[in-house]
Every structure is written in structure tokens, then in C-alpha cells.
Chains A and B, each alone.
Chain A
Amino acid sequence: MNSMINHLVRKDWQINRTMMSIYLGAMLVALAMLLADDNSFVFGIGVILILTVLMILGIHLTTSNVISEHTQKTLAFIMSLPVSGRQYALAKILANLSMFLLPWLLALVGSWLIILSRDSLPNGLAAITTLALIEILLSYCLIMMMGLVTGSQHGAIGAMALANLGFQGFLWGILQIPAIAQHRDSNSLAWNSTELSILAIQLVIIVGLLGITLVVQQRKTNFI
């Protein structure tokens, strides 16, 4: 990786380390709550907390690490360094994605371990849990893209609204699909073709969003 991109990614991690510690701590607490009986109140709160932590982190990262570069006028400082617009965008994507992916992976691996280690939870739940978490990742990529491309709070808020509606709609929608509903209640780990197709579409959209962000950034003629 280009050393300047490396510097910028490290810089974002250093600037946001306190915030990241809080979110990682909250995620660990949420995962610890999943150790409770899966019919208990604490378990339910743990699931809600995992989703909440990821959603709030996505919004927080975009406002504090993308939009604030514009509103706090630190973008001029960064862009005066030996960096191109494309490198800046790439560094922002890498920094934000890595910061989001760390608690996201904790949630993914943690939920898998809980599902697979408990007889009371069907193994088929792992697929829908994964799809739901990837949908949250997709929502975050959309919010980050709008934040980076527009540099405005309005653009990011619009994307947040869209992402929230999209996530609710996604959950409601996939539960209406018989193949997914049946697999959720079964003990089979193997993904069916419907789930794999949805996963593929999600990954294509994520790659597309990141690609569009880079292309738009590269074509920008005004950076500040």
C-alpha cells in the first residue's frame, strides 16, 4: 500500500481511538449478554445492542471521520499534504471500513459461535444472521459513500434514512421468502441457493458502492 495512504489510515485510527474503544467495549458487552439463556430478556437486549452498536457506529464514523473533515476544515490541512484526491478517498474508505469491520467481525464471529454452540438455537439461523449483518455493512457503505461524495451532512442524513428503511425492508423481505424462513428453523448449516444469491447481490452492491465512491472522488475538480 502507498505509504501516504498508510499514514492517513493510521492517522484516522489514532484520531478515533477513544471512540473505537467505546464501541468495541459496547460490542463485547453485547456479546457477553448473548451468553445468557436465549429465551431471556438479557439475550434479547444483547441482540438489540449488537444491531444498535453497529448502526450508531456507522453514523458516528461518517459524521466524525468524513463529514467533520469538511465542517471542521481539516480537509484543507490533509489535502495540502502530498496526497491526491484518489489517495485521500482510498485512505478514507480503508480507515472507515477497517474501523467498522472490527466490531462487525466481532458481532459476526460471536453470533456464529453462540448459534453453533447452542442446541437450543438452530444452526440455520447463522445464514440469516450473516445476511442481516452484511446488510448493515452495505448500509454503512452507502452512508459512507454519500458522506465522502457530498461532504455534507444533508447527503449523509439522506443516506442514513435510506439505509435504515432499507435494512427494515430487507429483514421483512427475506423473512417472507419461504426458502430462507425454512432454513432459519432447520439445523442445517449449508446455505441454499436463495441465500447465496442474496449474499452475492449484497457483495456486488458493496463493491459497486465503493467503486463509485472512488470514481466520483477521482473526477472531482474541487476538493475544498
Chain B
Amino acid sequence: MNTHAVELHKVGKRYKYFSLNDISLSLPTGSITGFIGVNGAGKSTTIRILLGLVHQDHGSVQVLGQAMPEQQVLAKREIGYVSEDMRLYPKASLAWHMQFIQSIYPNWDQAYAEQLLKRFDLRAEQKIKGLSHGQRVKASLLLALARRPKLLILDEPTTGLDPVARQEVLTALIEVLADEDRTILFSSHNTLDVEQISDQVVFIDQGSIIEARSKEDLLDAWRRLRVRVAPDQTVAQLPYVLQHQGHGQLQTIITNRYSPELQQTYQQAGLEIQAVELLTLEEIFVASIQARREGKNL
């Protein structure tokens, strides 16, 4: 078994107004990776390259051991894909779609499909055009999950869903995670969703990967420190300060290299540390993007 389900090496794609800049990324087999970026950051382009729907200009892409786009037919036999942008045939029923997918994928699990039908409160005989947006997403997810794919690629699946539908989708995904061999790539600009289910996090901005590591490491490394500063002191010169706010004696510092040693360094520099706070994934994401756009090294 491959240790990595997905491996991208210096992959680039140039469009008129956007380019994907030599991105390299590896997704360990069995991992759940949250792929976070603002709209237009390059998430969907990267995902389409992974599926062979868009061919990279340069760089190598391996998905489940298959070179893409050349071996896309073999790779896609083991991939389930759901996208906010993807639609099923409006005039056909969900049952027709289930039969269609079943005829293509030998791994189709009918019992699981029926279980998902109940959980998602869907009716197989209903035509797709009669479903709400949330129901359509759940129908697509059912079709992807019941084929028991080794790699599940979800491109903004929760976008536009109401809170209940969003939670149902996330709960189904969390249950799928019980299968340790299945790798999931979950793209979203909603960091709360990613924080709930991911164990790896990748940030993408303006076509470049700016962060890729485990969620625990990421949350552990970032801190907000509330400090009291001497009148003649400038915190911007201190090591690993990505952001600082406030101009008086009380200021806040955000660092992405927090450790007890770093805290000691700040104290030795004369800062009085009043509080050390964890950041949410959303705060880390926003701070990362801002720091990068200000030209700082992450």
C-alpha cells in the first residue's frame, strides 16, 4: 500500500488571470486533510488536476499510485468526488443515479447506500430537480460514499447548506473516517467545518501552498500573547512576531512558533506576558494570509 494517497510535485498551471505556482503536497494514506483557501485561491484548480479534469502545465501528480492525467481512468475507479459545483441529472431520479453508479463500480455497497438514504432523509424515487440544494449535496455524497472509494475528494461540499444539513454531512463524514485506509481531501473556506473533521491542514493563497501540516501541530504552534510593553520598546523586532496590535503599553502579539523557550525569550527582552491564548483555525488562517501578503515568512 502506498504511504501517500496523493503526491503533487512542483505542479503548475497558468491561466490568463491566475496561476498555480509550483505546488508540492503529499496526503498520507488514511489522512483527512482540510484544504482551506479564500475563493479563487486555487483549491478547485488543484482538485481538478487531481482528478485529471484539468491537465497541469508542468510538475508530476500521483493519485493512488497512478500518474495523472495519463492514468486517470485507473485512479478514478477508486475516487469519490463531490463538489458544490457538480450537478446530477435533473430529470432522473436518485434511484436511477444509484443504479447507474452501481453498474460502474463493483465495490458499490447497496446496504450502506440504503442506510445513507435513511440518514440523509432522501427518497430514492424522487427526481433530482425536485431536491433542495442541501438534498442534492447529500445525494451526491451518498453516490460517492456508497462506492467505497479509497480517496474521497470533497470540493466545498458544505457551501450553501443550512446548519442542519451541514451538520448531517459532517457527521456522515466523521463516520466514514472510521475506515483508516480511506483518505479524504476536504476543501472549504469554512474553517469551522475543517476544524471539526481534519487531522491535516493545508492553506492555499493566490495559487501557492502557504501551510501544510497536522492540525494539532498547527494549533499548537500559533499563540496570541497579551503583553505589557515598556514605553521605549518595539515588539516588531522580536523573533517570530507575525502580527502585533496596539500602540500603548498593552499590546497583543501573534506568533506561529510558540514554545516555552520563545516565551522566555520575550520575557528576557522585557515583555511582561499577561496571557497566552490559543487561536482558532480561522484566526490562524486569516493571520497566515495577512502575513504572507505582507511579505513575511511563515
Residues on A lying within 8 angstroms of B by beta carbon are 4, 7, 11, 14-15, 72-74, 76-77, 79-84, 87, 221-224
Contact = CB atoms under 8 A, between A and B. Distances in A.
Interface stretch (B96-104, B188-196, B243-251): B96-104
Interface in B63-122: 72-74, 76-77, 79, 81, 83, 85-92, 96, 100, 103-104
A79 B53 contact: yes
A224 B77 contact: no
B86 A80 contact: yes
A82 B96 contact: no
B131 interface: no
B54 interface: yes
A222 B55 CA distance: 6
B51 interface: yes
Contacts of B74: 82
- 5 tightest CB-CB pairs across the interface, nearest first? A80-B81, A221-B55, A76-B86, A73-B87, A82-B76
Contacts of A77: 86-89, 140
A74 B140 CA distance: 11
Nearest to A19: B91
Nearest to A73: B87
B257 interface: no
B1 to A, nearest CB: 20
Contacts of A224: 48, 53-54
Contacts of A222: 53-55
Given A4-B73, A7-B104, A14-B96, A79 B88 contact: no
A84 B81 CA distance: 15
Contacts of B72: 82, 84
A74 B73 contact: no
Contact of A76 (B73, B85, B91): B85
B86 A81 contact: no
26 contacts: A4-B73, A7-B100, A14-B92, A14-B96, A15-B89, A73-B85, A73-B87, A74-B87, A76-B53, A76-B85, A76-B86, A76-B87, A77-B86, A77-B88, A77-B89, A77-B140, A79-B51, A80-B86, A81-B76, A82-B74, A82-B104, A83-B76, A84-B52, A222-B54, A223-B53, A224-B53
A74 B89 contact: yes
A15 B91 contact: yes
A81 B104 contact: yes
A73 B85 CA distance: 7
Given A80-B51, A80-B79, A224-B48, A73 B86 contact: yes
A217 B120 CA distance: 38
Given A76-B53, A84-B72, A87-B73, 9 more contacts: A4-B73, A7-B100, A7-B103, A74-B88, A77-B87, A77-B140, A82-B76, A221-B55, A222-B54
Contacts of B104: 4, 7, 81-82
B96 A221 contact: no
Interface string B34-57: 000000000000001001111100
Contacts of A223: 53-54
Given A79-B53, A82-B76, A15 B86 contact: no
A19 B294 CA distance: 58
A73 B44 CA distance: 14
Contacts of A221: 54-55
